[in-house]
Chains A and B, each alone.
Chain A
Amino acid sequence: MGDTKTRTPARRAKTRAAQPEPETLVAYYRQMLLIRRFEERAARAYTEAKIGGYCHLNLGEEATVTGLMAALQPRDYLFTNYREHGYALARGIDARRVMAELYGRSTGVSKGWGGSMHMFDLESRLLGGYGIVGGQLPLATGAALAVNYKGGDEVVMCQMGDGTTNIGAFHESLNMAALWDLPIVFVVINNGLGMGTTVEASSAEPELYRRASAYRMESARVDGTDVVAVRDAAQAAVERARRESKPFLLETTSPRLRGHSVVDPARYRTAEEKEALKEADPLAHFGLTLEEAGILDAEARTKLDAEVKAEVDDAAAFADDSPHPDVSTLFDYTYATPVRGVPRRLPADPVF
């Protein structure tokens, strides 16, 4: 793995961490598989016009998602960008509720109002996916300030993409987090691309984790296709944040296996780049590793696949059978209490 910086907690943790139990590894594999099949299913549903809006998938990010979420305690908080279906699943939210949200149904995580980009679930402390690039960063930083204010020992994890490190909110947030010693772990998912623009074409310091040094914040880069490495690096950062109330910047590197969103054919990628992606598939890699280690053979993998496929099919069927939000919900929740003088009349309604 590409952990290039010395004296990081991630590196220390790596040497300390015990090799996970086989069951744990199989559980990680299953989690990654669930994300993979879920996202493939979402892509299909999108092309069948079951899903509206824009839809960004975690394909290629499965090991990162699984490793990061394994490092969090249930009481910790998570903020993400719009590429968050996998995070919602790995945070323990029922695949049915996640799929129903994609389908825009009232049984979804955000009652069908959030859609693909705005999952929100208090119970699992997923404090939102955010569609505006960088929008989640100051919010997450503020949530970490709130934790400190209350004297809590929760940690905030704030996920973002590589492109996001170039928007002003990134600088504002990292500076404040370091200035005030906040218990927050910023995670940059470096998939090499912000839409069609490469990291090299957009970042003066393409080794993104190094940006933390501008704030005297510790940081590390980890191979995002290695679930255990991600977990260990994240755990070290999270536990340090919990113990010492110090922020951390973790960069993970993983491929984005498809276009930016379901509708992006990624024509800006060369044929060689597309070919190389097949080699980089983290799920296939992990499957092979487990097989070689004698932990999970092909037969067991097929069985898991069937199990996961059934779970995803069930989620899709549940979503399909769920009702759309009622038209009357248009007028819910814009304010806490009804605001005077706001017209709410629908065409068929009486004037009074």
Chain B
Amino acid sequence: MTTPSTTMAQALNSALRDALADDERVVVFGEDVGRLGGVFRITDGLTAEFGEDRCFDTPLAEAGIVGFAVGMAMGGFRPVIELQFDAFAYPAFEQIASHVAKMRNRTRGRVALPMVIRIPYAGGIGGVEHHCDSSEAYYAHTPGLKVVTPATAGDAYSLLREAIEDPDPVIFLEPKKLYWSKSQVALPARTEPFGRAAIRRRGADATLVAYGPTVPVALEAAEAAVEEGWDLEVVDLRTLVPFDDETVTASVRRTGRCVIVSEAAGFAGVGAEIAARVQERCFHSLHAPVLRVTGYDIPYPPPMLEQHHLPNVDRILDALDRLQRDDRPDPRFLSLGGAA
């Protein structure tokens, strides 16, 4: 029997559908999620199937939507809300940073917020600025939030189901350029739980650490690098919080080299955190500085320039060139501080 091929969008839709069917506390709401089925059609058909009580449209009011979800969660529900695009979540940042993230701590454990905030994020779709932001660092930097970002359809399904079941609030970042990419997977699928990275490709010479939208890019670069004699390992983090130190550390200790690939601006980003952790845990195994290939430290550029801004195979190969394969110290890094 062949495994069906499923898009990430279909997987997310199925996860929501199954969660609504399995648990009557689950409610889905947000702008245009009902009648329209969401801007990316992730909630398509849910209102028709489960009724307006379970999946409904709200007015255009992000801070309100997130705050309502907090109140609903306090009242025993499991809200799954959609904010239409990365930057449209910013009006709700106060609710997220001040209430969603802190309620359990503030109430000394008396209030749990089992809610999920779904946010389509990152670029590669020819959008502009606020339709292509990589906003993961804001959330990952806020204690109290779990931050999840799938790269495959199977993970999209499984991680979203787990997010909805989780007792804590989860920021669920959906790489929008992967919505229509297909994986061979039969749903319902259960993959590894939160906090477990996946090794997407085994290799011996260096570890590429990627998450969300950069996982396919890293895999592509790994294939391209074969020609140059590199045997690369590709790690897909899957969840940024919790972070899987074990898998990353074991991989880099084996390969001795590490390049982190992310779309977000490099400065003070998640990649910097990963580099620091790798250095802390793998210092004596490293044969080269830990490098980052990231978006530049600029606002997201217009469509015709995005291919230069986003990490691509060229830029990853370029970083590999600087991984000192022959183990001689490279004086160039003195001035560059290790940034790719």
Contact = CB atoms under 8 A, between A and B. Distances in A.
Interface of A: 52-54, 104, 112-115, 117-118, 131-134, 163-164, 166-169, 194-197, 201-203, 267-268, 324-325, 327, 329-331, 334, 341-347, 351-352
Contact of B332 (A202, A324, A352): A352
A196 B36 contact: yes
Contact of B57 (A52, A201, A342): A201
Contacts, number: 125
Interface residues of B, number: 47
A343 B131 CA distance: 24
Contacts of B318: 347
Contact of A54 (B127, B332, B340): B127
Nearest to B333: A351
Interface in B41-87: 57-64, 87
Contact of A346 (B36, B58, B130, B308): B308
A166 B59 contact: yes
B226 interface: no
Nearest to A161: B60
B3 interface: no
A163 B59 contact: yes
A195 B304 contact: no
A53 B127 contact: yes
A114 B266 CA distance: 23
Contact of B128 (A115, A168, A203, A345): A115
A202 B315 CA distance: 46
A268 B301 contact: no
Contact of B32 (A53, A168, A196): A196
Contacts of B64: 168
Given A166-B61, A167-B60, A334 B299 contact: yes
Nearest to A326: B305
Given A104-B303, A168-B91, A133 B60 contact: yes
A166 B305 contact: no
B128 A53 contact: yes
B128 A327 contact: no
B136 interface: no
Given A163-B59, A167-B91, A352-B335, A53 B308 contact: no
B59 A203 contact: yes
Given A52-B126, A52-B303, A131-B131, A167 B314 contact: no
A82 B269 CA distance: 29
Given A166-B59, A201-B57, A341-B337, A351 B322 contact: yes
A330 B296 contact: yes
B309 interface: yes
Given A113-B301, A115-B302, A197-B35, A163 B60 contact: yes
B298 interface: yes
A266 to B, nearest CB: 9
B263 to A, nearest CB: 14
Nearest to A163: B60
The 5 closest A-B pairs by CB, nearest first: A52-B303, A196-B36, A166-B59, A202-B59, A52-B126
B296 A168 contact: no
Contacts of A345: 340
B273 interface: no
Interface string B129-148: 11100000000000000000
Contacts of A164: 60
Contacts of B322: 351
Nearest to B309: A330
A118 B304 contact: no
Given A327-B308, A343-B296, A344-B296, A53 B302 contact: yes
B65 to A, nearest CB: 10
Given A201-B57, A342-B267, 20 more contacts: A52-B127, A115-B302, A117-B128, A166-B61, A168-B91, A195-B31, A196-B36, A196-B57, A202-B58, A202-B60, A203-B59, A324-B304, A325-B305, A331-B296, A331-B298, A334-B298, A334-B299, A343-B339, A346-B308, A351-B322
Given A52-B303, A197-B35, A352-B332, A118 B297 contact: no
A17 B52 CA distance: 49
A347 B315 CA distance: 5
Interface string B3-39: 0000000000000000000000000000110011001
A197 B32 contact: yes
Contacts of A327: 305, 308
A196 B35 contact: yes
A181 to B, nearest CB: 27
B66 to A, nearest CB: 12
